[in-house]
Homo-oligomer: A and B are copies of this chain.
Amino acid sequence: MESSQLLFKIQVNSKIYVKDPETSVLGKKIIEYGILLIDEIGFEEFTFKKLGDLIGSNESSLYRYFENKHKFLIYLSSWYWSWIEYRIHVATNAVVNPFEKLTLAITIATEKIEDDSTTAHINESILNKIIIQEFTKTLHTKEVDEENKEGFFLIYKRIINTIIAFVNEVNPDYPYAKSLVSSIVEGSLHQHFLMCHLKTITNCSEHNKPTNFYLHLISTLLKK
């Protein structure tokens, strides 16, 4: 377990938190149970008061780690995308064929996450559910431009840029690489959402995953 934690260092922008939650027991409890509570009651109903009650800590203690629940969600999202980025890096690192690299990256970025035990206090499968349900809310605020300047969305944009480079390797003549990739990464969250809640307007299901749709899309679209 220690060795796996050495291999994988999550890089969350330090401006997102007041105090790094990875540095204390309370901090890790906030992350662990915060994920579970947001999944259970949804981000709108989630408050630091409720999370404090759940972990037996006072509300004010939680404010020493995160300014507010919006920053907390940005923290969880950054952690998630950093973890995805790491997995894309590991999977594609030794691969030479551009189309194979692209396929691997898109698979990792669009797949449903099954439980993983890399980190003791984070349930990646539930975190993935939260990202599907809530990630869009980190961007859709009046503060998005300032927060973007502060670098809060850097990891997310870096993943997209990595995949854009793969698309350009596969077919340098395709004129919409950026829009295609940002569509796929965001759109796959949406397809997962539709699978759960608006089943009639998606082809995706347990047996026919969003990943299949997007792999079919890129192979048709980038054919020369």
A→B interface (CB under 8 Å)? 41-42, 44-45, 133-134, 136-137, 139-142, 144-145, 148, 153, 157, 160-161, 164, 175-183, 186-187, 190-191, 193-194, 197-198, 200-204, 210, 213, 216-217, 220-221
The answer to whether A178 and B201 touch across the interface, beta carbons within 8 angstroms, is: yes
Chain B residue with minimal CB distance to A187? B183
Q: Is the interface of A mostly helix, strand, loop or mixed?
A: helix
- The CA of A45 and the CA of B143, in the complex, are separated in Å by 11
Interface residue from B141, B178, B183, B197 paired with A148 (Cβ < 8 Å): B197
The answer to whether A140 and B145 touch across the interface, beta carbons within 8 angstroms, is: no
Contacting residues, chain B, for A137 (C-beta < 8 A): 136-137, 140
Q: How many copies does the complex hold?
A: 2
- The CA of A222 and the CA of B197, in the complex, are separated in Å by 27
25 inter-chain pairs at a CB distance below 8 angstroms, sorted by A residue, are A41-B142, A44-B141, A44-B142, A136-B137, A137-B137, A144-B197, A148-B197, A148-B198, A160-B201, A161-B200, A161-B201, A176-B213, A176-B216, A178-B202, A178-B203, A179-B191, A180-B217, A182-B190, A182-B202, A183-B183, A183-B190, A186-B187, A186-B190, A187-B190, A220-B220
